[in-house]
Amino acid sequence: MQRRLSFIDKMIANADQALRTLVPSAANATQSSPAENQHSGELDEQQRLHIAGLMRINHTGEVCAQALYQGQALTAKLPHIRQEMELAAEEEIDHLVWCEQRINELGGRASLLNPLFYAASFAIGATAGFVGDKWSLGFVAATEDQVCKHLQEHLEQLPEDDDKTRAILERMLKDEEMHGIRALEAGGQQFSPATKKVMTVASKLMTKTAYRV
């Protein structure tokens, strides 16, 4: 019989997850990066810096995803919803590691503001889970929709011969789309266009900040 975790146990587990998310090279992927064995053409300095900035945005997005899912799992009402959030967080770890690896290859760094983004996202996720599982799942679907839009925009900005970055983003796009579908199928509420517009504004603020800092 599986032991039921106390609130303190859950908080310790969340602290451990936060450290693995925020400390460089602390997380381990379960799958090899799609960039392995892919070709990357010669990039000039401006291209390298721009792509590193795009991947920094995506890495920060994965940091936020980890925090959101952990916060939602902490306050989810139903066990199967909690398990869904924890599974999604595990799948997103691969994305986190792949982005970090590509940033390092490009000579870049992760955003200095990731701890703040993590804390804010965890609070949002915990609040969403507290409000209700249906709303929480809807928030996941709406968030994944925003992520997919960013990934599509980034793919359009890549040099044609940067197959390494393209392979990572295309795989992430496929996975994020599936996460959004699964959230709605699990009973998530469709958000109104007005709510999604507010989320878009907040998302753009995050991406512009992460690109530079």
On whether the pTM is more than 0.95, the answer is no
How many angstroms separate the CA atoms of 168 and 164, rounded?
7
pLDDT of 137 reads: 85
Instruction: Give me the phi and psi of 87, to 5 degrees please.
Output: -65, -45
Residues 82-93 have a mean pLDDT of 75
pLDDT of 114 reads: 96
CA-derived radius of gyration, the chain: 17
Give CA separation, 68 vs 3, 21, 26, 44, in Å: 24, 12, 19, 36
More confident residue, 43 or 131: 43
How many angstroms separate the CA atoms of 61 and 81, rounded?
22
Instruction: Give me the phi and psi of 45, to 5 degrees please.
Output: -60, -40
pLDDT(108) > 60:
yes
Q: Is 95 marked as a binding-site residue?
A: yes
Confidence of residue 3 (pLDDT cuts 50, 70, 90): low
Provide the β-strand partners of residue 175: none
pLDDT of 32 reads: 92
More confident residue, 131 or 47: 47
Confidence of residue 2 (pLDDT cuts 50, 70, 90): very low
Q: Judge residue 23's burial from the number of C-beta atoms within 10 Å of its C-beta, 0-12 exposed, 13-18 middle, 19 or more buried.
A: exposed
pLDDT of 157 reads: 96
Q: What is the pLDDT of residues 53-65, one digit of tens each?
A: 999 999 999 999 8
Q: Is 80 marked as a binding-site residue?
A: no
Check: CB of residue 21 under 8 Å from CB of residue 27.
yes
Domain topology for 43-212: Ferritin (1.20.1260)
pLDDT of 188 reads: 83
Q: What is the pLDDT of residues 9-19, one digit of tens each?
A: 777 877 888 88
How many angstroms separate the CA atoms of 212 and 203, rounded?
15
Q: Is 100 marked as a binding-site residue?
A: no
Give CA separation, 122 vs 11, 112, 114, 149, 185, in Å: 12, 17, 12, 22, 23
C-alpha angle 21-148-88 in degrees, rounded to nearest 5: 45
H/E element, 159:
none
Q: Is 84 marked as a binding-site residue?
A: no
